[in-house]
């Protein structure tokens, strides 16, 4: 069978890696693929996120690292998570998958990753 995921420098090259930084959401979509409407409120500790990405980086090299939820903008330390994701140096692009409803509440100088990925709802 052909290997569809090349291995370069001992790391599997993939299109993307998703990291769930929260489970909860501000919406309750009936067909939520993350099951957010049925899950209790939860958010990752940034230090835990850093450790998980450090371990993942040893074996995987995604083009995209997507911070997802739930609604990632609900994380109480979202900017820390964003900095951790960028500092992990695991992917070429760090993106945030959001339903977009909380974007107007974000500070004007929010250092969103680029390109900014959003969907409504996803
Ligand atoms: S916006 Fe996304 S995460 Fe939130 S409930 Fe809807 S599908 Fe689930």
Question: Phi first, then psi: what are they for 13, rounded to 5°?
Answer: -85, 120
Displacement of CA 61 from its chain's centroid (Å): 15
Give the SS3 label for residue 46.
Answer: helix
Confirm or reject: Cβ of 121 under 6 Å from ligand 1: yes
Confirm or reject: Cβ of 93 under 6 Å from ligand 1: no
Cis preceding linkage at 87, omega within 30:
no
Residue nearest to atom 8 of ligand 1 (CA): 32
Dist. CA 34 → ligand 1 center (Å): 7
The pLDDT profile of the chain, 122 residues, written as one tens digit per residue, is 677 899 999 999 999 999 999 999 999 999 999 999 999 999 999 999 999 999 999 999 999 999 999 999 999 999 999 999 999 999 999 999 999 999 888 877 777 654 444 444 55
Confirm or reject: Cβ of 27 under 6 Å from ligand 1: yes
Cis preceding linkage at 115, omega within 30:
yes
Query: Could you tell me the residue ranges of all domains in the chain?
Result: 7-99
**Ligand 1, pocket-test mutation among 70, 75, 98, 102, most atoms within 8 A of CB:** 70
Please work out, in degrees rounded to the nearest 5, the angle formed at the alpha carbon of residue 112 by the alpha carbons of 17 and 66: 10
Q: What is the pLDDT of residue 120?
A: 45
Q: What is the pLDDT of residue 122?
A: 53
Confirm or reject: Cβ of 71 under 6 Å from ligand 1: yes
């Amino acid at each position: 069978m052909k290997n569809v995921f090349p291995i370069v420098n001992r790391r599997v090259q993939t299109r993307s890696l998703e990291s769930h930084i929260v489970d909860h959401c501000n919406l309750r979509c009936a067909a939520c693929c993350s099951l957010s409407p049925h899950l209790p409120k939860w958010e990752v500790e940034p230090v835990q996120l850093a450790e998980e990405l450090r371990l993942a980086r040893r074996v995987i090299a995604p083009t995209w690292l997507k911070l997802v939820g739930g609604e990632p903008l609900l994380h109480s330390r979202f900017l820390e998570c964003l900095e951790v994701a960028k500092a992990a140096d695991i992917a070429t692009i760090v993106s945030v998958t959001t339903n977009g409803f909380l974007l107007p509440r974000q500070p004007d100088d929010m250092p969103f990753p680029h390109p900014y990925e959003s969907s409504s709802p996803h």
